[in-house]
Structure 1
Amino acid sequence: MSRPQLRKDAHVYRFRKRVPADLVAVVGRREVVFSLRTSDPKEAKRLHSEELAKLESQWADLRRRPSNGTTDAKPAVMEYSAAPRSLSERQAAERAQWMYVHWLGLYRENPSQQRFWPTDLYHHLWRASPGSVENRDDGRTTVRAALDLRSVEKVEELQRWCRLQAETVLDLHDVDADEISTLRVAKAVASQVQRASLALAALARGEPEAPPMAPQAAASPMSQPAVKPVLLSELIEAWWRQAERTGKSPSTRESYTNTMRQLHAFLDHEDARRVTADDVRRFRDFRLASKKRNGEPLSAATVKNSDLAALKSVFGWAVVDGRLPVNPAVDVNVARVAKIKLREREFTTEEARAILQASMHLQAGRELPQTLAAKRWIPWVLAFTGARVGEIAQMRRQDLHLKQIEGHPEGVWVLRITPEAGAVKTKQAREVPLHPQLIELGFPAFVQSVREERLFLVPGTEGAITGPLQAVKNRLGEFAREHVSDRGVSPNHGWRHRFRTVATEAGISANVIDALCGWATKNVGDRYGSVSLKTKADAILRIPQFRI
């Protein structure tokens, strides 16, 4: 069965189908080959199916037409490509001319930032011998290595990169080139990058720029694939199609997508190929000077761990995937600032009591019933589970069960925190017994009274919860801030810190606390064995109640 194909070391899929023997004379070729212009396997499969259906339809139409000696249908099929399989050195050089203008344009404003291509290694590319032969005085022969191990690895990286550029441009132009021709284009690409890099090095030294290339070279139609915009919006979606399969969470997708939108708005263009390291630095400084919705400035940690992490990850993936030549964010960082600590990171007993007491005296207003329920119950659940706020805010009705456990004759209400409900940092489900005070307050009865699946949020289109979940977390943070104004404690995460402190004071062992809160094990030994549900239930009983 015909399926999308990848040539060796290529990243762009292509369509390849043998022409039926009875149609070869009419079509004028034995095989149809053309690029699908995508590196995403799912998209390639979809496009392949569409193109195969079109082709089969055309062939069926050819068979239905009377045989009168004409080949009037031939042009409709020939649109797929009649590119040569073998390229001369001149043809290979023509297909690489665009790279000089493109590479020079990437770094012309700041030529010293071109550090990907070391010009001193160019003459070592595709060399058969890695060293030189020396005749010693004693008559023996010694082979002296020309490069150290790091340089050898860099040479191999440059060769792979040049081949990838060659494969990409050949696929974009539907050129089904043979191995020798592909290597010729790769070498021609290397030559153009070397020329451009030498010109950039001269600019970095303050020397005047060399005269521009001949107009016909700069305007060559072969340069079109290089200057075709790589849109930030398309880049993030392509990144997500692969990242999703590696276990990245939808919240990461939303965060990275927001960063790309902000970068687009800041630069006033969406072409990822035009983004330079200077652009990323300016964007970083802009974000550091920005403020959150509540008027507070963005922290350096947020810019580093959210904005820069997104750019480095997506642009880095794009380089590996052959969509970008370099990662403009790779060397951009945020200076680490020592955070002044004036208090412990958990809520004090008085602060916790203030929030919990306020949650019991809420009045219905204009907000959604789910938001009101979140403010009423989630602070209490966090206080007695040590869970992350998002793990509880995304809770479903079916995540709470009454289980029979030895030593607990009346049964134990158990909350199951699971990736099936949404994002869980460790990507592992865990069970947390409810504290008796939660049962006395009526939390299980509340859960059973809810008709919808989600307790604290209203899913978006097609059941999406990422946006609504963040909204609930924001409302909870604002609610806690109304009663605990000290910025030294997080309005949501302060519960998690407090739980560990209280559990430790109650004599609960560290491994049981980790199992209850979903903390990853600290060493290999901790990964052996497990903490039983009975042990967890016994431990929860040791947590003191709140006096409200």
Structure 2
Amino acid sequence: MDAANGYLTTNGIIIDDQNRRTMARALSAAIQRASLTLAKLARGEGQDLPEPQAIPFPEWPARAEQAKNDAKRGASDDSLSALVEHWWKEAKAAGRKQSTYESYRNTVAKLVGFLKHDQASSVTPHDIVRYKDHRLQSGASAKTVKDSDLAGLKTVFGWAVMNRRMSSNPAEGLTIKVGKSRKLRSKGFYDQEASAILKYARSFAAGREAPKLAAAKRWVPWLCAFTGARVGEMLQLRKEDVRREGKHWVVHVTPEAGPVKRDEARDVVLHPQIIEEGFLEFYENSKSGYIFIDPKAGDLGVRKAVKTARNKVNAFVREVVTDPNVDPSHGWRHRFKTVGIEQEVAMRVLDAIQGHAPRNASEDYGDVTITAKAKAIARFPNIKVG
């Protein structure tokens, strides 16, 4: 195998593991024949031996010539880092999310660090297997390696193959079987947990924290409890995203404000209890723009501000609910769905309120109106907060 690897490396040839093994066997057989021939010659028995034949390998471009071709293309074009950027130019135009790009870029950066080179054409399937094993041994979960690392590499390398930048996808066909994790409790907050969180948020006294972060700790748990929205979606609310629609108050969740899964805006009717709690007074006293974060300019500034605030709000909730088997952020979304089912709210309406994808083609027909959402929200009982 070492001889085969040496020949391939010298000539800059990339092949898969199966062909590499085939070539190694051919080389081994050729070396064995050569050894027998040399032994006969050493014994003076070489008179009747046939003329030696070279191993019939195909002609390959010399390494120097390949280097010249790489230089013409631009050295950076053949790097792993460059592949991600080239892929992103197309993917961004096609509507892929910035967060996906950042995830894939981080994965490739980790691969480069592991391989100790940035040459895309030198990456083999065996390299990806070694990287996968390295990630697992380093503590990354099987789900993360499968759904983040391998998925990202397959996508970027697949794009490179389609665009004639690589001859094959070294990550193709590689996967990990992810076992089902044990479920020790409901994924949503229990009633007593929800009550405790909202009571804690109500009594929160701002210290040295920035005013908007203090406001987030006070109001985001309440908003999530009665909208079923993602924590990040509530953190990126702007003053203009809250409005009165007839007799209902509505929050507008929109990708114009920041990251929204599926990039689809939606309206959520506010529950009477959060209005009674005083959210509208807070809203009216807020300045224009983002009411819970102070992001720097641009999409990246918003994402960073949301991420920072989300981590702090989650840590705040963890002070109340310490059970690691319930997520301090997603626990609200699961609870909202559970309560909605208990109150016999139509699943399509629940999905529309929470921003979940349609379950079939028929659900793409017609709209779940604010009136329909208001009727659903009215079915949700108040949460007892002592």
Indicate the TM-score class for this superposition, using the shorter chain for normalisation.
0.7 to 0.9
> When you count helix as a share of all residues, which structure comes out higher?
2
Distance 1:414 1:232 in 2: 46
Distance 1:252 1:371, change over 3 A: farther
Deviation, 1:283, is 2.3
Deviation, 1:466, is 2.2
Distance 1:546 1:232, change over 3 A: same
For 1:256, which of 101, 104, 113 is the aligned residue?
104
Distance 1:311 1:350, change over 3 A: same
Counterpart position of 1:244 = 92
| Letter aligned with residue 262 of structure 2 | T
| Letter aligned with residue 231 of structure 1 | S
| Letter aligned with residue 388 of structure 1 | R
Counterpart position of 1:361 = 203
- Taking the TM superposition and a 5 Å limit, the aligned residue runs for 1:138-177 are none
Deviation, 1:308, is 1.6
Task: Give 3-state SS (helix, strand or coil) of 1:454's partner.
Answer: coil
Deviation, 1:492, is 0.9
Answer yes or no: is the 8 Å Cα contact 1:250–1:466 preserved in 2.
no
Deviation, 1:507, is 2.2
For 2:169, which of 320, 327, 334 is the aligned residue?
327
For 1:514, which of 351, 355, 366 is the aligned residue?
351
- Taking the TM superposition and a 5 Å limit, the aligned residue runs for 1:462-541 are 462-464=298-300, 465-541=302-378
TM-score, structure 1 normalization = 0.59
Answer yes or no: is the 8 Å Cα contact 2:340–2:380 preserved in 1.
yes
For 2:69, which of 212, 225, 228 is the aligned residue?
225
Distance 1:499 1:286, change over 3 A: same
Counterpart position of 1:317 = 159
Distance 1:527 1:336 in 2: 32
Counterpart position of 1:112 = 17
Distance 1:448 1:113 in 2: 68
For 2:11, which of 71, 93, 101 is the aligned residue?
101
Counterpart position of 2:259 = 423
Distance 1:512 1:466 in 2: 28
Residue 178 of structure 2 is aligned to residue 273 of structure 1: no
Counterpart position of 1:376 = 218
Deviation, 1:204, is 5.1
Which sections of structure 1, spanning at least 5 residues, go unmatched?
Answer: 1-97, 115-196, 291-296, 405-410
Distance 1:303 1:547 in 2: 42
Distance 1:362 1:335 in 2: 44
Deviation, 1:415, is 0.7
Distance 1:399 1:233, change over 3 A: same
Counterpart position of 1:403 = 245
| Letter aligned with residue 221 of structure 1 | E
Task: Give 3-state SS (helix, strand or coil) of 1:545's partner.
Answer: coil
Distance 2:26 2:213 in 1: 61
Distance 1:401 1:251 in 2: 29
Answer yes or no: is the 8 Å Cα contact 1:99–1:226 preserved in 2.
no
Identity %: 41
Answer yes or no: is the 8 Å Cα contact 1:360–1:376 preserved in 2.
yes
Answer yes or no: is the 8 Å Cα contact 2:228–2:337 preserved in 1.
yes
Answer yes or no: is the 8 Å Cα contact 2:161–2:169 preserved in 1.
yes
Distance 2:128 2:364 in 1: 41
Answer yes or no: is the 8 Å Cα contact 1:99–1:223 preserved in 2.
no
Task: Give 3-state SS (helix, strand or coil) of 2:379's partner.
Answer: coil
Counterpart position of 1:293 = none
Answer yes or no: is the 8 Å Cα contact 1:112–1:204 preserved in 2.
no
Distance 1:203 1:496 in 2: 56
Distance 2:66 2:147 in 1: 40
Residue 283 of structure 2 is aligned to residue 447 of structure 1: yes
Deviation, 1:383, is 0.9
Residue 269 of structure 2 is aligned to residue 436 of structure 1: no
| Letter aligned with residue 345 of structure 1 | K
Work out which of the two has the higher radius of gyration on C-alpha atoms and give 1 or 2: 1
Residue 188 of structure 2 is aligned to residue 352 of structure 1: no
Counterpart position of 1:412 = 248
Deviation, 1:502, is 0.5
| Letter aligned with residue 485 of structure 1 | T
Which sections of structure 2, spanning at least 5 residues, go unmatched?
Answer: 1-7, 32-53
Counterpart position of 1:11 = none
Count of aligned pairs: 350
> Cα RMSD (Å) of the superposition?
2.9
Deviation, 1:331, is 2.2
Distance 1:211 1:484, change over 3 A: farther
1:201-229: per-residue Cα shift (whole Å, max 9, x none)? 2215672688899xx96244354325845
Answer yes or no: is the 8 Å Cα contact 1:239–1:317 preserved in 2.
yes
1:121-180: per-residue Cα shift (whole Å, max 9, x none)? xxxxxxxxxxxxxxxxxxxxxxxxxxxxxxxxxxxxxxxxxxxxxxxxxxxxxxxxxxxx
Distance 1:298 1:365, change over 3 A: farther
| Letter aligned with residue 342 of structure 1 | L
Runs of at least 4 residues of structure 1 off by over 4 A?
208-213, 226-229
Answer yes or no: is the 8 Å Cα contact 2:10–2:63 preserved in 1.
no
